[in-house]
Amino acid sequence: MATRHVVIGIDSSTQSTKALAVDVATGEVLGRGQAPHTVSAGAGRESDPGVWWDALSAAVGATGHAETAEAVSIAGQQHGLVALDKRGEAVRPALLWNDVRSASQAARLVDELGGAKTWAQRTGSVPTAAFTVAKWAWLCENEPEAAARVTSIRLPHDYLTERLTGEPATDRGDASGTGWWGADGYDDEILRHVGLDRAALPPVLAPGAQAGVARADGPLRAGVLVATGTGDNAAAALGLGLRPGQPVLSLGTSGTVYTVARQRPTDPTGTVAGFADALGRWLPLACTLNCTLAVDRFAALLGRDREAVERDGDVVVLPYLDGERTPNLPAAGGLVHGLRHDTTPGQVLQAAYDGAAHALLTALDDVLRAGGETGTSAPQPILLIGGGARGRAWQQTVLRLSGRPVRVPTAPELVALGAAAQAAALLTGEPADEVARRWGTSDGPVLPAVERDDATLDRISRTLRRGHDLLT
């Protein structure tokens, strides 16, 4: 019998850590583990990074392959600020990507360093409250004593990889979401402006590089190969084996649309973030803060099952319960417009789905255009992934508002699978996306296109314009 080679891919997301043990030859998932995180409520969104490590250890152990895995890779939520002191301990809980308290710092930084066009050209993106550079500026302004104790800064996946290996490292995919990394590496002028030394940041390793080996004091046996890891969206792109121009819509705590691109995006409007991918190309992306959790909250308020939607109402819901990133309205709350005596709870719930999907689908053409991936050929199916992708109401909403066919991959946990493909690439020498294509991770049923519901899209757009003053 041939020897079975096993790798573990880890997804450290906002709410939990998930781990998959995967057969390198076939892509078969041999074991799974999951452990929750704790996220603060209230004005900010924070987590103790030590909780991530405990969750990672529990999830890896639950796969049943901690002693047999030969390589591992960690994908993590983007943007988060993990601020460490000289002992490598967190000076405060990590500020998460969806903490919008740094919105004013983001706006100020854009103005101070040349405006939106300059930022887009230098870093590929125009910073919003989500970006690490804005969170660092917030920390310096609001908690100067804590900032003064900081000697190193890590992103969530950097922090976990370093705890596993003892060596600092990051990758271009995750570094590109900080606001202080450009096409040629860290931007020293931006770092000086925000009072950071390059020595406080981890080295950015080349695509496919090894970050180190696991230490004996972690959840894996000593000596296991550890890949660089990457941000969650770049990992999902790997997990799909994504090719340039294929559009992805991910339905999770946040909503995202992205594609792999051959050219570096530079969108001065800030709608499209010009992220790097994990393989030397680019990952133009638009992101919303309010997606499945916001819609589920409306379902709970209405006392409805999340699938109990009804069509043909005129009500509009903008479910910006956590503020919003796309459109850039960090101080917004939810808005319901157009209620009538005959409006039903099911129509309000459908309108919440429509409102959550609207920003993502209207940004899709911008994403493809920013990456130079528009063309005259027939539209490729949207790859629908994430926790909401198998929900019928979500599928029908995306079909109706996009006018495109939709493919729903059957593979589970694509972020963790992408990390597993990155780990497998250390053993096989293949590019990680080719590993994923060999595993068939994007296979799944295709839902045929329907006529696009332009009336609903226009109604939401009009309401957004008219309600702008209420939302800011």
Catalytic residues: 232
d(CA 154, CA 124): 20
d(CA 421, CA 465): 43
- Looking only at the bridges linking them, the beta strands covering 248-251 and 230-231 are unpaired
Neighbouring C-beta atoms of residue 28, cutoff 10 Å: 12
d(CA 92, CA 106): 21
Sign of the CA dihedral running 183, 189, 190, 192:
positive
Contact at 8 Å (CB) between 317 and 348? yes
Residue among 201, 194, 216, 143 nearest 171 (CA): 201
> Can you tell me which residue has the tokens 């995967």?
22
Cα 272 versus chain centre, distance:
13
d(CA 116, CA 105): 14
d(CA 3, CA 20): 19
Contact at 8 Å (CB) between 372 and 263? yes
d(CA 367, CA 283): 9
